[in-house]
Amino acid sequence: MAAYKLVLIRHGESCWNQENRFCGWFDADLSDTGEHEAKRGGQALKDAGYEFDICYTSVLKRAIRTLWFVLDSIDQMWLPVHRTWRLNERHYGGLTGLNKAETAAIHGEAQVKIWRRSFDIPPPSMDEGHDFYQTISKDRRYSDLTEDQLPSCESLKDTIARALPFWNEEIVPQIKEGKRVLIAAHGNSLRGIVKHLEGMSEEAIMELNLPTGIPIVYELDKNLKPLGPMQFLGDEETVKKAMEAVAAQGKAKK
Amino acid sequence: MSKYKLFLLRHGEGAWNKENRFCSWVDQKLSEDGLKEAQDCGRLLKEQGYKFDLVFTSILSRSIQTAWLVLEAMGQEWVPVIKSWRLNERHYGSLIGLNRAEMAKEHGEEQVKVWRRSYDVTPPQIEESHPYFLEIYNDRRYTTCDMPKENLPRAESLKEVLDRLLPYWDSTVVPEIKQGRTVLISAHGNSCRALLKHLEGISDKDIASVTLPTGIPVLLELDENLKPVKPRQLLGDQVKIQAAIKKVEDQGKAIPST
């Protein structure tokens, strides 16, 4: 018997996804497709009659706007929303802004493969000379972060390490108070939560690509252990496609 | 010497504004025009280079939508938004949902003016038989307030709006301003007026003639005691502002019968 239900939603396509550029902490907006994905996700939650008590998101607009579309769809715009840098996407450091071809050209295919397959090797850091250093590292929204907290790059391990304290200290107590939680965030910050909930290995979480714009539902016991695999919400077609895509990931050659 | 900047914003047109009906605690969303008003406001604030640290809204969707659109236009979606019923529009009691022009025809422009613009005359309370009673009081958001649902208002004068707004202002908003945070309050005609009355020391009599246009940001520059150091500034194009003021004032007048 489920003690709690948790809903996660990964934002959809951003303008930089369209251009195949490493986005990370760059505050790219949703593309038209991404907006559509968010509305569709909201509609799925509305059709299923979901009610929430509290929402969490990052400080990046693509996640926040996704949440706003959802709250509008389910008519719960009045819910409290907490924004935190700890739910931000992984920081891609010096790769931020590069497209996949440029990255391979600059660093070589072999190095790119290492970064993609590694849990704990970070990309090169974003230094002061980087095109996006000012707009990201010096952004007002990060002014409260200490020097230790503000990343210049992150491995997946780093991302998870700064996301989980927020999960444990802020989100878990709310769930245990019976608050129904909605988290709208990014592929890698959500991977941190999923890895933790399901006790997944480093290899397994690196294989998992969460579907975008589709509400992901976990039923949890009183110790916050999932009672079963994650469920997707949506029309039959959308859900089926998402499940197949996830199942196929583990088998894909890299 | 101005120490703090505070911004007030009355949301733009909702569907019922067009029909000239008292919307109050009924949770209407913005009309297409209302959405545009919010976006224009955001663009203006962005052009003028303002940076918010914190936004307060009511728990009515139209004030929240307005805040979101403003933040979006400014690229400041990350700014925290805090919501409270204490910034809700004035509760118009049994007048909720009634058309202003018809009311003015039935009761006379003067009576409607008294209900709308007097300081301490409370309209008749909303009763369970009212068509919008359940829509309001069965709404889950009113179980999340800092006051039990049964103690929430059933009708309010402007004075009563200030009575429930002021404790929130003092305990929650003021400390943020005093920490140097640039605050935007995205709210409603009467919750904004009540706050203005308090901040500017407007008399019970004079507040009646204070009209806030919709979608126009109001800048208050305050000293260290939160007293205004100069008159409030309505930001933006003056012609547009005057037209917006007139639009609100015209809503109180009855449509002449043909």
| Cα–Cα distances in angstroms (integers) from residue B221 to residues A49, A237, B38, B197, in the given order | 45, 56, 22, 15
Chain B positions touching A68 (Cβ under 8 A) are 68
Give the single-character DSSP code of B226.
S
Write down the pTM of the prediction: 0.95
Question: What is the pLDDT at residue B256?
Answer: 41
Residue B187: name the closest of B50, B73, B82 by CA.
B82
A11 given a catalytic annotation: yes
Coil, strand, or helix at residue A220?
strand
For residues B119 and B194, what is the distance between their CA atoms, to the nearest angstrom? 9
Test A78 with B59 for CB contact under 8 angstroms: yes
In the block, residue with structure tokens 């997944």: A200
Residue A71: name the closest of A58, A52, A87 by CA.
A52
Binding site, annotated residues of B: 10-17, 62, 89-92, 116-117, 189-190
Torsion of the alpha carbons at B200, B201, B205 and B207, rounded to the nearest 10: 20
Residue A169 to chain B, least CA–CA distance (Å): 19
Q: In chain B, which residue's Cα lies nearest the Cα of A179?
A: B144
Point out the residue among B75, B83, B140 whose CB comes nearest to the CB of A80.
B83
Chain A positions touching B78 (Cβ under 8 A) are 59-61, 64, 83, 141
Which segments in chain A show pLDDT lower than 50?
252-254
In the block, residue with structure tokens 């909201």: A42
Catalytic residue among A35, A37, A89, A154: A89
Test B77 with A65 for CB contact under 8 angstroms: yes
In the block, residue with structure tokens 């002061």: A128
For residues B148 and B167, what is the distance between their CA atoms, to the nearest angstrom? 16
Per-residue pLDDT of chain B in tens (258 residues, 90 and over written 9): 789 999 999 999 988 877 778 899 999 999 999 999 999 999 999 999 999 999 999 999 999 999 999 999 999 999 999 999 999 999 999 889 988 777 777 778 888 878 877 899 999 899 999 999 999 999 999 999 999 999 999 999 999 999 999 999 999 999 999 999 999 999 999 999 999 999 999 999 999 989 899 999 999 999 999 999 999 999 999 998 988 888 887 765 544 433
- CA A136 remoteness from chain centre: 18
B11 given a catalytic annotation: yes
Test A75 with B81 for CB contact under 8 angstroms: no
| CB-CB neighbours of B239 under 10 Å | 8
pLDDT digits (tens, 9 = 90+) for A151-193: 999 999 999 999 999 999 999 999 999 999 999 999 999 999 9
In the block, residue with structure tokens 């230094």: A127
* Cβ neighbourhood burial of A203 (10 Å; 0-12, 13-18, 19+): exposed
Residue A50 to chain B, least CA–CA distance (Å): 13
Test A78 with B83 for CB contact under 8 angstroms: yes
